Amino acid sequence: MHRLSTGIEKLDRLLGGGLLPGTMTVVLGATGIGKTQLGLQFANAGLTQEGRRGVIFDMTARGDHQNHFNYAQRMFGWQLQAADPDRPIDPERFFAAAEPGDYVQVFGHSGRRVTRRDLDFDSWHQWQADLARRLQQTIAFFYGNFVRGVRRAVIDGIEPVDHPSDSIQVELLEYIYHQILRKDPEWVARDLFRQHYLRCATEAAAHLYDPRQIACVVLVTSAESMLEALIERPLDEGDLLSNANTVILMGKIRQGTRFCRALYVAKHRGSAASDEIISYQIDDRGVCLPDNTQRQA
């Protein structure tokens, strides 16, 4: 089966050749552990394999900037082009319009909490209203890129929650995955253009793509920083990890008197995967697995 490179050769080998198209991969780890760099490495690898880099959908809502633009420029000379999440949809010019951009921060609200338990009644319903207004622009961002050949989506900024059903971010993620990434493109076009679909139906039929070839990497922040705690973490029903095809955990391990970064492939359905805990470094190229990496005790 065709595999999608993560952009990290040694990680691809741990995954039996790479990630499976048509699936979701969750990368879980604490802030600053290297998730965003790994996500950008995966997106950039699309330039070699598919001829198009992936897209970055940033759900950051609390103002904790993920440095996507700086990382992309430093690591690959890639100048991310930000899409405008408030730009009106013009059905007549959608397919002929300029590139839709390869990065979007959909919420654009600094300092706002994203879980039901953190919000009062009015704030929760204000989030719901904001989310409803953003759905059409979210569809346009992904669909506009997929009809132009993009086959990789990176979703960043998911915050830790005790109950996924209480999270605005998880609610939007589930919509994106099931109603955009995994859905027949003609039906995605219907959702996007709504009452104007018949005027765009010919163009939509001429821009079909196979959703089974699209891979999604979701970057989730954990409350735990130690890799051992992440490995021992139980899965709740509806948890992102239980629904993902592949789960990669990133955390700290102790080596003598030092703490080092390490990763572990906790799940990889449909393929053999290494059961090793692998130490890694972060340099100007992003996440790097050293040549002398050994199994950790």
What tens digit of pLDDT does each residue of 98-125 get? 889 999 988 765 555 666 666 677 776 7
Residue located via tokens 């994106």: 176
How much of the chain exceeds pLDDT 90, in percent? 63
The whole-number average pLDDT for the span 61-89 is 86
Which residues, at least 6 apart from 289, have a Cβ–Cβ distance to it below 8 Å? 8, 10, 11, 278, 279, 280
Q: Considering the chain, what is the average pLDDT of its residues?
A: 88
Would you say 221 and 179 are in contact if contact means Cβ atoms under 8 Å apart?
Answer: no
The most distant pair of C-alpha atoms in the chain lies apart, rounded to whole Å, by 66
Domain ranges of the chain: 9-288
Question: So what's the pLDDT on residue 110?
Answer: 53
Phi/psi of residue 262, nearest 5 degrees: -150, 155
Give the CATH number of domain 9-288: 3.40.50.300
Question: So what's the pLDDT on residue 296?
Answer: 47
Q: Distance from first CA to last CA of the chain, Å, rounded?
A: 33
What confidence tens digit (pLDDT) does each residue in 180-237 have? 999 999 999 999 999 999 999 999 999 999 999 999 999 999 999 999 999 998 766 5
On whether the pTM is more than 0.75, the answer is yes
Q: Is the pLDDT of residue 295 over 50?
A: no
Distance (Å) of CA 47 to CA 5, 41, 53, 151, 153: 11, 11, 5, 10, 13
